[in-house]
Amino acid sequence: MNLRELVPGWQDLALCRHYEHGGIGTFYNTSPDKTELAMMRRVCGICPAQPDCLAVAMLEERDMGKSSRFGFRGGFTARERYALSKRWRYNDEGGRSDG
């Protein structure tokens, strides 16, 4: 996926907008407990915006180290996204390919 393929207005499809975890289109809970994390994973698992949400998160964070990332976005914790970033390569249009 690259940024040109994002669904316009994907944030409007974000299921997390209906939950009280702050932010629009993303969960910005930096330290969820087990119950919250399980709920977030379930919501992200059925969210129609998940591919776009994850793509944007990965692009925004692509030059960030592990400790600079926060929040639960696109179905992944900050630590999980960091691990994903080690396997992804990005092109100039914001696209990715598995490395």
Task: Count the Cβ atoms, other than its own, within 10 Å of residue 99.
Answer: 9
25 touches ligand SF4 (CB under 6 A):
yes
Q: Which of residues 51-90 bind ligand SF4 (CB under 6 A)?
A: 53, 73-75
Size of the site for ligand SF4 (CB under 6 A): 15
Between 13 and 64, CB nearer to ligand SF4: 13
- Least distance to ligand SF4 from the beta carbon of 67, Å? 21
Between 23 and 95, CB nearer to ligand SF4: 23
Distance CA 34, CA 20 (A): 16
The only residue of 29, 49, 58, 69 in contact with ligand SF4, by rule CB under 6 A: 49
Burial class of 41 by CB neighbour count within 10 A (0 to 12, 13 to 18, 19+) = middle
Alpha-carbon distances, residue 72 vs 7, 14, 61, 97 (angstroms): 20, 13, 13, 22
Chain contacts with ligand SF4 (rule: CB under 6 A): 14-16, 25-27, 43-44, 47, 49-50, 53, 73-75
